[in-house]
Amino acid sequence: MKAAVIVFPGSNCDRDVSVALEHATGAKPAMVWHRDSDLPPVDLIVVPGGFSYGDYLRSGAMAAKSPVMREVVARARAGVRVLGICNGFQILTEAGLLPGALMRNAGLKFICRTVDLRVENAESAFTSAFSKGQVVRFPVAHHDGNYFADSDTLAQIEDAGMVAFRYVAPGGVIDASGNPNGSANAIAGLFNETRTVLGMMPHPERAFEPLHGNTDGKALFDGLVEALS
């Protein structure tokens, strides 16, 4: 599996995800600067976490207009897998690759902790190494993670099986105590309709090796390698 990581001014998880991809694939991914307008041929494009353009205007709004994003959108439309993590999820919604928007957290505070997630759909290249209903723990670190979509869009998302991960309370229960940021339908990770694009607020690249104290994120990278090699 060949991968590329897009780097914006203010990205801060680009190197973490590069290390995770190198562990999973045995090769360093291509690091592509936001101003570049061409991407090497790859099987996976990662839009990493961080504070692109200082989160000015709206998180992800300015990055979505970067030259490289025209190519990312074109590749995504052609079926290349695209993974947006945290700020990457925000960028993918701003670029129109995923429906809805990420608003300020309901509690108006930056949240930095590990949360419980339930795998809602294991039928994708991103989630095939998990099983449906499995509860995993990933770190989150954001101030704009409150997923919003109007009720018609939410109904379409649910009907089409586009929810990848939901925030849950310990024991896998969906309630307000398990939902750190007030996201609609407790959505933590969302696919496009064809499940070739995934945006997620939690960080699998911060939980993939024993040194992290948590290896739950490893299955996401291993599943991608299995599906795309």
Ligand X SMILES: NC(=O)CC[C@H](N)C(=O)O
Binding site for ligand X (CB under 6 A): 49-51, 55, 59, 86-87, 141-145
- Catalytic member of 86, 94, 120, 143: 86
Is 205 assigned a catalytic role?
A: yes
Nearest approach, Cβ of residue 48 and ligand X (Å) = 8
- Among residues 17 and 129, whose Cβ is nearest to ligand X? 17
Structure tokens at 103: 């608003």
CB atoms within 10 A of CB 194: 11
- Among residues 87 and 124, whose Cβ is nearest to ligand X? 87
Among 46, 26, 40, residue whose Cα is nearest residue 229: 26
Strands 44-47 and 3-7: parallel
- Among residues 85 and 129, whose Cβ is nearest to ligand X? 85
Residue 10 Cα to chain centre, angstroms: 17
- Among residues 13 and 68, whose Cβ is nearest to ligand X? 13
Nearest approach, Cβ of residue 78 and ligand X (Å) = 26
3-state SS record for 165-182: EEEEECCCECCHHHCCCC
Is 203 assigned a catalytic role?
A: yes
Is 112 assigned a catalytic role?
A: no
Nearest approach, Cβ of residue 1 and ligand X (Å) = 23
Token pair 């914006």 is at which residue? 8
Helix (H) or strand (E) holding 30: strand 30-33
Structure tokens at 62: 């300015």
Nearest approach, Cβ of residue 206 and ligand X (Å) = 9
Say if CB 14 and CB 52 are below 8 A apart: no
Give me the active site residues, please: 86, 203, 205
